[in-house]
Amino acid sequence: MNWYEKLSQYFPIEEMKSKEHMDLLLKEKKDVYKKEEGQHHVMMYVETDDFLFIDYLFVSKDARGSGLGKKLLTALKEKRKPIILEVEPIDYDDSDTEKRMRFYSREGFTHAESIGYTRRSLATGELTELEILYWSPENDSEESIYRKMCHTYENIHTYKDKELYGESYQKVDEVLSYEDDSDDKEPSA
């Protein structure tokens, strides 16, 4: 089974980029879009000068609990940059979502409470809500994580979307929101 088949069997269709999209990113954005794979894992990620974004992290059922996921994250943490990722909200009818959240929590990831993320799937037309998790060696603010997530959405998620899918994804401000509840500022006019 190739790397794309592994990802497609694990991730919901609403969250998957097409193989053509990922191949194009690996070719045309090879300076930032990376693939790491082994017999029991596939990790697709973005590495910029100031942060990392994990697009997909798959560890086969056979290797879960072996420390492979921790090893992959540790290698990224050693780069000393914030790491951002998207996960499905916990669904108590799907134990994988709980296990995933527990895993990232054990690995020191924080849930970005101020960032909202809802996008329409071009594959299904359905709205999908995702949670943003992040790990930061320098305690980056959620506002900083939000800006990095916007950059990822505009430069990776929607890269050549009209060419690849025949239509465009939503604009970034329709998908990502940031609510600063740290103080009671007056709304700006």
| pLDDT tens digits, 68-103 | 999 999 999 999 999 999 998 876 666 677 788 899
pLDDT-based confidence at 184, cuts 50/70/90? very low
Domains of the chain, earliest start first: 3-167 (3.40.630.30)
Q: pTM here? A: 0.91
How confident is the model over 135-144, as a mean pLDDT? 96
Instruction: Write out the DSSP string of 13-75.
Output: GGGPPPHHHHHHHHHHTTTTEEEEEETTEEEEEEE-SS-EEEEEEEE-GGGTTTTHHHHHHHH
- pLDDT higher than 50, residue 19: yes
Rounded mean pLDDT, 21-47? 97
